[in-house]
Structure 1
Amino acid sequence: MTKIAIIDYGMGNLRSVQKGFEKVGFEAVVTADPQVVLAAEKVVLPGVGAFRDCMRNLEQGGFVEPLLQVIRSGRPFLGICVGMQLLFTDSVEFGLYRGLDVIPGHVLRFPEGMHEGGEALKVPHMGWNQLAIKRRPPAFAEVADGANVYFVHSYYARPDDERVVAATATYGIEFCAAVWQDNIVATQFHPEKSQAVGLSILKKFGEMK
C-alpha cells in the first residue's frame, strides 16, 4: 500500500512536495490514479493556480469521490495552498465556484487598498510571514508561535466556524493560514518552500496514524 499519495491533477508543485517528504525520510508517490489515492495511508492535495481550474481538474481526473472517501475514513489528509482552499464551500476567484465543501466557509480575495505602516500592500501576498498559532495539530508539534513560513496567494479562506483555524497570519488583515479538522490539516502557506519549519510539518504529518 502506498504510504503517502500526492495527487497529480495538473495543478500542483508536486516534485518539490515529494522532495520535501524525501528529505524527512518518507517515501511519497506522485499519482494521477484515483485508485492509488483511495488505497493510500495518507493523502496530500497540493494546489497552484486558480480555484476553478483546480476544481475542474479534480473532477475531470475522477478524484473528488476518492478524496471524500479518504477524508471520511479518518486517514491523515494534508491540503496545501489552493489544496486547502478547495476544502471549503466555494470561492469568488473569477466568479463563484463550488469547492469540496468539507469545511464550511468561503474563499475571498484580499481587499483592495490595504496598507501597513503607511505602505500600500501588493496582492498577491508573496513571501515570508509569521504564524500566530491558535490550535496545534499534530503536524505542527514543532512549529513555534511566530515561525516564518512562505506564502504566495491572492485569496484566503474564511471558515464559518473559527474553531477549525489552526494558525493565522497578518497581511493588511488577519487571515486563516492553516486549518485543522479531525484528520485534516491544511495550510495556505507552502511547507515545501518554508525550509526547516515546513519540513517539520511534513515530517510530523508523515508520522501521523
Structure 2
Amino acid sequence: MKINSRFLKEILFKKYLYITIPLVMGSCMKAQTLNVSGSNWVVSVPTITEAGTNYSGTYQSSASLLTLSGLLPGSFLNLLSGGAAKVSMHYIPTTWNNSLHLYAKRSGGTTSIGGVCVLCTATINGGTTFIEIPQGTDATFFTINFTGVLGLGNSVSFSSINTQLQISGVSVAIPATSYTAKLVFTIAAN
C-alpha cells in the first residue's frame, strides 16, 4: 500500500486525554459523605507513525489513581433496612469524542462500624472488574451492604477503596486534540 506524505503528516501526532476527577459529595441525605482523593489522569498516547502499529487503543491508570472513602451515619443506615448503599458514577464531557469509552474498577476497601450495634456487618461488594462509566446517567460502581440491629450512635465508615480507570476507543480516526471529562461519584440507598 502506498501512503502519500500528506497522509503521513496527518497520522503523525500525539494525543493527550485528560480525565478530571473533582472531589464530589453526593447524597440524598445531608450527613452521608463520599470523599474522592487522588489526581487527574493524563493519558499520553504515543506518537503514531504508522497506522495501527504502535498504540494499543486501550490505556489504564495506576491501580490506585483515586481513593474513595466516606461515612454512612445511623440515620442513613436506618433507611437501608438491612440493605445496601450504592456508589454510582457517570462522566460529564468537557471536550470529548463519543468514540472514547471510560471504565472504572475498584480494589481493596475496608469498613468499620461505630457505636453500639448487635450482630452488625458491613461489606463492600462489586466493582472489581472494569465497569463502563456512562455519560450523564449513573451506573452502579459498587455497594456497601449493612446488616444488624442498630443501637446508639451507629455509623459505618469506609476507606481505602482504590479505583483504577481505563479508556478505550483511542484510534487514528479520532482527531488529535486534548479530550477532557469530569467524573462524578454519588452515594445513595440502593
TM-score by length of 1: 0.24
TM-score by length of 2: 0.26
Higher-Rg structure is: 2
**Structure (1 or 2) with the greater helix fraction:** 1
**Structure (1 or 2) with the greater strand fraction:** 2
Q: Tell me: higher relative CO, structure 1 or 2? Use CA pairs within 8 A at least 6 residues apart.
A: 2
